[in-house]
Structure 1
Amino acid sequence: MEEVNINNTSQDNNSSYTYDYGGYKPVEFIMKVVTIIIMCIGLPLTLVAIYAVCSLVKDDHVVPIYVINLLITDLIQLCCMIAWVLPEDWILSGRFILLSIYFYCLMVSIGFMVCIALERYLVIACPLWYRFRRTIKISVLVCVVVWALPPVISCLFIAARNPATISGILLLLPLPLFIFFLGGTLKALSASISVHSDEKRRIVGMLVLVLLIYTLLFLPTIILSLAWGSSGIDERNLYNLSLTFVQFSPLADLFLYIFMRKGTIDKLLASVCCCRMDSDDISSPV
């Protein structure tokens, strides 16, 4: 993914505006090829995943709703990736709009990742409270809030003197939440007797997956944003490559569906020693 930079080349006796990619064409080529591959693989698989997750809503009132919204944001991101593939002259007027929509959906996707992790944590840590509080109305309200939150955050960016630093700090906030949800779930596993052992494995696996997606794909870009904003580092090539990692998030989110299907990954998780639970637990839908 290349970052679009408009440079005034008047210093070189040329008053026109040109786009540059850090002056490193091989990086630009590699990122475009990776973007095309992600789009070709991600678009059909995401559509199939959305259809498959919709079929689970009748069995689970909350998790599929959050996952469906997450996959919708991924679908929009994949469509907006065309901004990095087509030549700049073709979509010069709409490039800024596509980039704005892409980063808007990126922030929304992080919000739904937090919702998924929180819901999975409540299933184990507060099963009775969660069982009586979970409703479709509440989950829909939460979805509306998550979709409406990025414009508020964008206003903070505009008002801030150093938008890169502010955005980096805000995007770091989910990390301690993911760690807390995973640690709290692992701590409460032994006391939870109302959830079947297979479901416990899937819950832990989903929390680990969400943490890995955020840490491996989002965290490098966030750290570089903080470094760029605080120290004035201008490593465009390194920053653009880190953004390429972010482009893989729609593909990584597809694995969440695997942890929602009973029996799909239970045998694999059961083979991991740290995921072994008492198989005599009482089964209960979550």
Structure 2
Amino acid sequence: MNEPPFFQHIKWLDWITTGIGLPLTLIVIVAIFLQVKKDQGVPVYVINLLFSDLVQFCGRIIDYFNTPNGITSFGLMASVGFMVCISLERYLVIAKPLWYRFRRNIKTYVVVCVVVWTLPLPILLTLNLTTDPTIGSNIIEKVIPGVFLMPITFFIFFLVGTIKALSGALSVPAEEKRRIVAIQVAVLLIYTLLFLPNILPFLFPEIGSIIFILSPVCLILSPIADTTLYLLTRKSILDKFLASLCSCKASDNQEMSSKDTESTTAPHTETV
């Protein structure tokens, strides 16, 4: 029986994104480790996020040749967990700088990463080991949507809290503040645009077919979007972009102020 053209296009998109995303993710991971050798800070959660993307790509390849075994879902849930960790870390840098400075150590990173990698395991094992189809369907229809719905509240809270704490973070340079806010906004946008559409059909079964079409596409594109978080953690790349935006804005404001000055001085010279 032939598959509908839509599912055939999805398979092609899956293979194309895997062919591009898998080597790209490996290159980014190597680039991060090269930066670590240069005595720069170790973005632990970003590295784990990229490894979770590798798990997703490997799971897609295995799912294509065998029956789906949940490896892709495991990598997807771990990816969400590390996105929350990245957003939380950026929030603590601004809101609790002293607490974050003294609490940041290798032991904390190891514990958090082990917890994030361990939390999806019960769902993965249940899906693979259960023989009752009712349990599997309940997990897919109720548990997984709930797991993916909770992080959006954390992302919004961390973004709002970061913006509110910006004025009081005197020890953080202005460039670092802009970079942190950009990371928070990027995490929220990536999750809202690429992750939430996948759970909307479970929460609202009566929703239209557009979301049904978009949800697998968003799921396929999500690992590639994670590389933008690496770009945002690179000062050399993001600072140039933000500096160009700020310079453009400053030049526009200067041009507007000069025009306002000319408009206010012109009538005064006529009366004299």
Decide whether the 8 Å contact of 1:107 with 1:150 is kept in 2: yes
Match of 1:138?
108
The aligned amino acid for 1:126 is K
Contact residue 160 and residue 166 of structure 1 kept, 8 A: no
- Residue matched to 2:217: 244
Q: Which amino acid aligns with 1:211?
A: L
Structure 1 residue 105 corresponds to structure 2 residue 82: no
- Quote the offset at 1:173 in angstroms: 0.4
Deviations 1:159-195 (A, max 9, x none): 5883312321221000010000011001111111111
Using the TM superposition, give the Cα deviation of residue 59 of structure 1 relative to its aligned residue in structure 2, in angstroms. Answer: 2.4
Aligned residue type for 1:130: Y
Distance 1:197 1:156 in 2: 48
Query: Counterpart of 2:199 in 1: which secondary structure?
Result: helix
**Aligned twin of 2:88:** 118
Q: Does 1:31 align with 2:10?
A: yes
Normalising to structure 2: TM-score of the pair? 0.79
> Which runs of no fewer than 5 residues in structure 2 stay unpaired?
250-272
The answer to whether the 8 A contact 2:197-2:214 is kept is: no
Alignment match, 1:95:
67
| Residues 39-54 of structure 1 mapped to structure 2, 5 A cutoff | 39-54=18-33
2:159 paired with 1:182:
yes
**Aligned partner letter, 2:178:** R
Q: What RMSD in Å do the two structures reach over aligned CA positions? A: 2.6
Q: Deviations over 1:188-234 (max 9, x none)?
A: 11111111111111111111111111000000111112224xx6x79
Matched, 1:162 2:138: yes
Q: Which residue of 1 aligns with 2:170?
A: 193
TM-score, with length taken from structure 1:
0.75
Write out aligned runs for 1:49-68 (5 A): 49-57=28-36, 58-61=39-42, 64-68=43-47
Residue pair 2:84, 2:154 contacting (<8 A) in 1 also: yes
Shift of 1:272: 4.4
Between the aligned residues of both structures, percent identity stands at 49
Deviation per CA, 1:22-55: give whole Å up to 9, x if none: xxx2201211221122012111110111011223
- Residue 4 of structure 1 corresponds to none
Whichever residue aligns with residue 225 of structure 1, its letter is F
Instruction: Quote how far apart the aligned CAs of 1:82 are.
Output: 2.5
Rounded to whole Å, the distance in 1 between the matches of 2:218 and 2:56 is 13
Deviations 1:51-108 (A, max 9, x none): 11223444224xx111111101111212222256x5xxxx3xx3223xx111011000
- Give secondary structure in 2 for the equivalent of 1:264: helix
Offset of residue 271 of structure 1? 4.5
Q: For 2:235 and 2:45, how far apart are their aligned partners in 1? A: 18
Partner of 2:195: 218
What is the aligned partner in structure 1 of residue 252 from structure 2? none
Deviation of the 1:156 alpha carbon: 8.2
2:236 to 260, 263, 266: 263
CA distance in 1, matches of 2:85, 2:193: 19
Assess if the C-alpha contact under 8 Å between 2:53 and 2:79 holds in 1.
yes
Q: Bigger radius of gyration, 1 or 2? A: 2
Deviations 1:124-156 (A, max 9, x none): 000001001000111011000100001234578
Partner of 1:10: none
Aligned to 1:5: none
1:200 partner letter: K
